[in-house]
Amino acid sequence: MCSIISIYEFTKLRVVLIKNQLNCVSCTPNSFFRRAFDFVYTPYSISNKRHTDSGASKPEARKSRSLFKKMLDIDGKTHEMLINNYISNLKIKKWESNYVIAEKTVQLFRHFIDTINWSTTIELLNQLREYGFQITSALPLQFIVGNIIRRILNIVREEYTAARKSSEEEIDVQDSLHKIVTSEDDVDDYNSIVPELKLSIFEHLDEFQMEIESSNEDISKQALEHIHSNEIILTVGKSSEVEMFLKEAAKDRIFEVFITECSPLNHGRQLALNLSKHKIQSTLIPDSTMFGIMSRVNKVIIGVDSVMANGGLRTFNGCHAVALAAAHYSVPVIVLAPMYKLSSRYLCSYNQDAFNEFVSPAGVLNYSDSVVSKVDVYNPTYDYVPPENVTLFISNNGGHSPSYVYRLLSEIYHPLDYDLSVQNK
């Protein structure tokens, strides 16, 4: 909100000049700011609708949008403000849901694509990579942010390549598959000017946003293929994907769910409460009892924070112990992970500072206890689960084995974007 307030004050100082240029003398500063802000920060369809509803003409909308963008984007000051505000919101955990973080990241980079002064695709890519590197460097543990940025960069590359190929001669249907696969790609320089590229990118971003919004629903539609009547399911903590998955299966199946409370944060309690409201037989159990109950379990279904490039998981604290117990009793472990949670990063070492987040240990050891001054207490948020302990991934695109993750990564990310610190030539 800080950046919006500063933009507001900045606008009020210059509103008289812009009114004169727009022949909009009757506007109040507040109404003018709202209209001008809509032109910049909302998609074209919404922006045009709002402008039409307010009675303004389309030429005035274009003038206002252009002037306002020029005023706000001098020397990239507004972009820096937006980036700082975005980083601040994540650091104070204003957006805790991965879904919300993904949505906000797409919106931010959509605005960058719209307002960056670029003529060739390589200029746009380099600027987006610079912003992406700045954000990911400040938020090294927010894997979702890096995933979305790399996906957007790949969307830009795909739209550029598609536009170039559509303007060139189509591949002869008589060409062999070997020739097509081994043919040299001559559009990797990204230096050509492609008309209407921005519009194509925005259309693809709209599809990407719809994919994010519907990912949990697409995963839950596969529930009946994996959950059968009278089964006993074990899950860990609270996951929106798991909750929707179980609720969908409960429409046609009767089964029982054991939920570990995921101490000390105790997220499992909320999931148990939500499932009980939907008449799903659920039992909340202490983390320490999960090994004893595992012999009765038919399958383990868990959510995940991120899927690493090797098929391993960064997931809730306690999941590694559950996965080891499941392996001991040969119980399948099913992981629900939307495609935007697939990360190009590897666990290069077990250095917890580079992989994990630590929260207050107050839930483990009271500060008033005299022993606090004599011990160091760590309360990690995540666990790493190796790929050999995972049976199946279920994404919004279907089921995949851990060994297939590398293929999925090659489809949604470009290899040149794995390291955002290296600029394209």
Q: Whole-angstrom Cα distance, residue 379 to residue 318?
A: 12
What 3-state class would DSSP assign to 259?
A: strand
Note the Cα 299 to chain centre separation in Å. 27
Residue 192's CB: how many other CB atoms inside 10 A? 14
Ordered by start, the domain boundaries in the chain are 217-365+372-412
Q: Is residue 306 within 8 Å of 320, Cβ to Cβ?
A: no
Say if residue 258's pLDDT is above 90. yes
The pLDDT assigned to 372 comes to 76
Higher per-residue pLDDT: 74 or 159: 159
Reported as a single tens digit per residue, the pLDDT across 385-415 is 999 999 999 999 999 999 999 999 999 999 9
Q: Is residue 322 within 8 Å of 236, Cβ to Cβ?
A: yes
Strands 313-316 and 306-307: antiparallel
Q: Report the amino acid identity of residue 42.
A: T
Q: Report the amino acid identity of residue 44.
A: Y
Residue among 103, 105, 95, 39 at smallest CA distance from 71: 39
Reported as a single tens digit per residue, the pLDDT across 188-210 is 678 888 888 999 999 999 999 99
Q: Is residue 247 within 8 Å of 278, Cβ to Cβ?
A: yes
Reported as a single tens digit per residue, the pLDDT across 53-69 is 444 455 555 555 554 55
Q: How confident is the model at residue 93 (pLDDT cuts 50, 70, 90)?
A: confident
pTM of the entire predicted model: 0.77
CATH number of the structural domain 217-365+372-412:
3.40.50.10470
The pLDDT assigned to 366 comes to 78
Give DSSP secondary structure letters for 192-254: S--TTHHHHHHHHHHHHHHHHHHHHHHHHTTHHHH--TT-EEEEES--HHHHHHHHHHTTT--
Mean pLDDT for the chain overall: 81
Residue 412's CB: how many other CB atoms inside 10 A? 17
